[in-house]
Structure 1
Amino acid sequence: MIEDSKISYVELPGQDLPATKAFYSKAFGWTFTDYGPTYAAFGDAGLDGGFQADPEAGLTKPLVVLFARDLEAMEAKVIASGGEIIVPIFSFPGGRRFHFRDPSGNELAVFTESQ
């Protein structure tokens, strides 16, 4: 069960998605689910995650993704605590999320599942 306010997912850059998938599959036995030509979720890695190859997504560092049952309430909490919203709430296959920057400049995201 996914817990509120806990790390749930990690996204990594994957500019060469076929080579990246081949490497992690061969080296570590990870499995993949493709969500279009520029995104692959990985499994069998100990923590859920995915590789983002879309250059427009601008992902150049790992992205830690937290879970929230109430996305709008968590967004308000992030703002009230001094976080800066850098990508407003948007929908993606399976849910919705937003990205924020913490006071040290780290980018993280918070997601909720589709209802």
Structure 2
Amino acid sequence: MSPFLPEHAAVWFEIPATDLDRARRFYGAVLQNTLYDMEGGPNPMIRFAARDENAIAGHLYPGKPAAEGTGPTIHLAVDAPLEGAMERVTANGGKVVSPIISIPAGRFVYCLDPDGNSFGLFV
């Protein structure tokens, strides 16, 4: 039997937030796009914008984040320049916690949102 090889290893992400409005403002400002309310879930959810409705994306939900910097890390696409996005992180209450890291696929930086959730910004 051959191994299951999905088109994408990740299909969705969820980020817990203690204050959904603050989280929406933070991620909207950092990513420079509009997050929108999702209907039909078991609790309030705010979806990240993507090119189309079937794109891999994720949402914010009311929940308890892991201790600062200890939970999983997702990497979010941001429009260049990366340095500008880093400035928006700190200007909106988050923290940049690494230098810019270059790899063959692009450049990224590790950050924390106002709840302490770990995320990367990727260009």
TM-score band w.r.t. shorter chain: 0.3 to 0.5
Higher strand share: 1
